[in-house]
Amino acid sequence: MKASYAIPVWKQAPFIRLIIPLIAGIVLQWYLQFSVAFIAASIIIFTVSFFAFYTLSFRLRFKLAWLQGVVLNFLIASMALLITWLQDARHQQNWYGHLYAEPSTLIVKINEPLIEKSNSYKADGLVETLFKEGKSYAVNGKILLYFKKTETASLLKYGDKILINAPLQKIKNSGNPGAFNYERYAGFQGLYYSVYLSPADYLPLHQSSVNVFYSSIFSAQKYIIGCLKKYLPGNKNTTGIAEALLIGYKEDLDKDLVQAYSNTGVVHVIAISGLHLGLIYVLLLWIFTRLPYIKNSIFIRVTLILICLWLFAILTGASASVLRSAVMFTCILIGSNFFKQASVYNSLAASAFLLLAYNPYFLWDVGFRLSYFAVYGIVWLQKPIYHLWFIKNKWLQKIWEMMSITIAAQIITFPICIFYFHQFPNLFLVTNLIIVPLSTLVLFAEIFLVAVSWQPFIAALVGKVCYGLLWLMNFIITTFNSFSFSVLDKIYATSLSTWLLYGLVFGCCAWLLYKIKTALLCSMICAIAFVTLQFYATYSKMHQQKIIVYNVPRYQAVDFVYKNKFYFVGDSLMQLDAVLQNFHLKPSRVLFQTDKADTLEALYHKNLYWQLGNKKCIFINSSLKLQPVFKKIKVDMLLISKNPAIKIEDITNAISPSVVVFDASNSLWKIENWKKECEHLLLRFHSTPAQGAFIMDAE
């Protein structure tokens, strides 16, 4: 028994050694963008080198076994380069982006049911044909479609083909400081262009091409959503949570309620993840080990469980975290029934290897990372944490077991959560202890509701039970969220601070579990470096002065930043709309570590004139005519907002700006005209819709 513990984990789990070069290759290809010729040459060289070892004598092969292992690692890394290169839609020969230029006409197949937004319908499309200069080209590639809300658009469905004659827009980031990298995220989905379609911009072709399998999945999703809306009384919040909990449908979720779930540390219960698939897995095991005939046949039982498991994974949208769980449970199920019980670490590494080989961009998926980190934390730390406290009472022991699982997962995931979300849920232990069992009841109740939906009377009763459980769950979350201490928000984090925090966490855990002194030393070094980095960030914060003009479509939004405070100038609606603030402004304020101030001691304002530090600005958001003056006013920035009827030349008769900034509250056609005027006058200019936020240091 002792000998088995002496075996290193990388020998018990060989896939750990294989996944390291795979990840290295993916990262190298993404950041360095090697050519396909270089990749092909690398694969050939390392393949030949690997098999060349088998031409050597046995004795020499044994001595050089380590070198063969190195070559194998380089071969896997080279294959990862190729997989990542192939995954990029822009490298496909027939990608429509290679040929597209205005004016062009496209035939596009709608690739999913339309999703209703507040002012439009949204769907992914597949471009099949491109017409340009009287010629047609068979092409491929995905495009993001937005339809203006009309009766014609509401009739469109999955598989329909439409003729598009409208200019495409490249998907770009907002360019605001600290903002989510949407351009990269869309690129990982194969999306590089979007288009907004009014009724005059497209023509339904009355042709349809559907995949029977996906059509069945979409129909099942529609049926389930219909059941929940029909039999769950109450408001949209209840239905939205029910849809997200069961099949991962998030379009009906209230953003404030989702934020409350996030603040209390239980957002994972409404984001289909390993927890849900684990519950489904346990339910399927319980059912199929009790059914006559099936329970006696291992092959039939395993096959049916896997079919149901994967159908559920696809039904929920097949996100990275769900696929991770599906692959891992597949490995565990097959291994436990047909082979010797494998290491959990090996199952984890094997599932990650397969998923990254299938789609290397999963590596940047937040859900994928959090899912693996959480499971790894539970596998590694849950038992040591559980054994720290011996409890005789059976029920208290079960509660402590659940708490130890939550603590183990939180220890490993909190650095990456802080990096992405800049907050820490202080009440995560209590909320998870209550909400996870409650959400489990809700999940099984919803499954039962869908199963009995053909019996309206029974379904109505089950629906009331589901509603009661959902109402209770939402009530508990909103109550905990109302506490001022429920969340620690706006936590400063960078890539470097996150790596240092992980060094500290892993070093401490390794020292406590295995008494490795080197690990303690490493953790102390990481701790010192982390504290030094935080001190430097605090020092920088207390010496910063900035003027930030944000890129917010249709709105004026400017922050004057002085030390650790900001003063906002712009549309009042931006102050009232929490969603707009969280998406466009909050990331910047977290990045620069600022809080709201009613006044700034270093800010001077009079009429159109603003001054922070040594930087002078004039804001123009209405039409005005300035007369030429003997001595022009010199300013560092002239900001033009809200489509004023002005000419740049008229303005420069009285004002001499170093740079003219056009924000996103202006029409694009007006900005284009103003840019031409600036070029003629040899004036420097900046357009936030085209170039992102404008940041001026005022120190």
Confirm if 427 and 500 have CB atoms less than 8 A apart.
no
Cβ neighbours of residue 559 under 8 Å, at least 6 residues apart?
Answer: 546, 547, 548, 550, 566, 567, 568, 569, 585, 588, 589, 594
Q: Note the CATH architecture for domain 96-210.
A: Beta Barrel (2.40)
Looking only at Cα atoms, what is the longest distance across the chain? Answer: 99
Confirm if 194 and 106 have CB atoms less than 8 A apart.
no
- Assess whether the previous peptide bond of 199 is cis (omega < 30° from 0): no
* C-alpha 165, offset from chain centre: 32
Q: What would the pLDDT profile of 497-551 be if each residue is shown by its tens digit?
A: 999 999 999 999 999 988 888 999 999 999 999 999 999 999 999 999 999 999 9
* Tokens 């304020």 -> residue: 589
Buried b (16+ CB within 10 A) or exposed e, 545-562: bbbbbbbbeebbbbbbbb
Residues 663 and 693: their CA atoms lie apart, in Å, by: 8
What DSSP string runs through 54-81?
Answer: GGS-HHHHHHTHHHHHHHHHHHHHHHHH
Using CA of residue 458, residue 464, residue 469, residue 473, what is the dihedral sign? Answer: positive
Query: What is the reported pLDDT for 268?
Result: 81
Q: What would the pLDDT profile of 52-65 be if each residue is shown by its tens digit?
A: 888 888 888 888 88
Cβ neighbours of residue 73 under 8 Å, at least 6 residues apart?
Answer: 17, 20, 21
Provide the 10 A C-beta neighbour count for residue 11. 10
Provide the 10 A C-beta neighbour count for residue 640. 24
Using CA of residue 435, residue 438, residue 440, residue 443, what is the dihedral sign? Answer: negative
Query: What is the reported pLDDT for 9?
Result: 64
pLDDT by 10-residue block (mean), the chain, 699 residues = 52 84 95 94 94 86 86 95 94 92 91 88 94 90 93 89 93 91 91 93 86 85 89 82 85 85 85 74 81 78 87 77 78 72 78 91 89 88 89 85 89 92 90 89 90 90 92 93 88 92 94 90 95 93 94 94 93 83 90 91 89 92 66 89 89 90 94 94 94 91
The 3-state secondary structure of 557-576, one letter per residue: EEEEEECCEEEEEECHHHHH
Buried b (16+ CB within 10 A) or exposed e, 272-286: bbbbbbebbbeebee
Q: Token pair for residue 294?
A: 């099936």
Q: What would the pLDDT profile of 435-445 be if each residue is shown by its tens digit?
A: 988 988 998 89
Query: Cα 206–211–212 angle (5° rounding)?
Result: 105
What mean pLDDT, rounded, does the chain reach?
Answer: 88
Query: What is the reported pLDDT for 127?
Result: 94
Residues 200 and 406: their CA atoms lie apart, in Å, by: 54
Residues 81 and 350: their CA atoms lie apart, in Å, by: 19
Query: What is the reported pLDDT for 471?
Result: 92
Using CA of residue 384, residue 386, residue 389, residue 392, what is the dihedral sign? Answer: negative
Query: What is the reported pLDDT for 47?
Result: 94
- Radius of gyration of the CA atoms of the chain, in A: 29
Confirm if 580 and 574 have CB atoms less than 8 A apart.
yes
Using CA of residue 547, residue 423, residue 495, residue 75, what is the dihedral sign? Answer: negative
The 3-state secondary structure of 529-555, one letter per residue: HHHHHHHHHHHHHCCCEEEEECCCCCC
Residues 281 and 292: their CA atoms lie apart, in Å, by: 19
Residues 309 and 302: their CA atoms lie apart, in Å, by: 10
DSSP letter (8 states) at residue 227: H
Work out the burial of residue 153: count CB atoms within 10 Å of its CB; fewer than 13 is exposed, 13-18 middle, 19 or more buried.
buried
Residues 636 and 657: their CA atoms lie apart, in Å, by: 5
SS3 assignment, position 679: helix
Using CA of residue 124, residue 130, residue 132, residue 134, what is the dihedral sign? Answer: negative
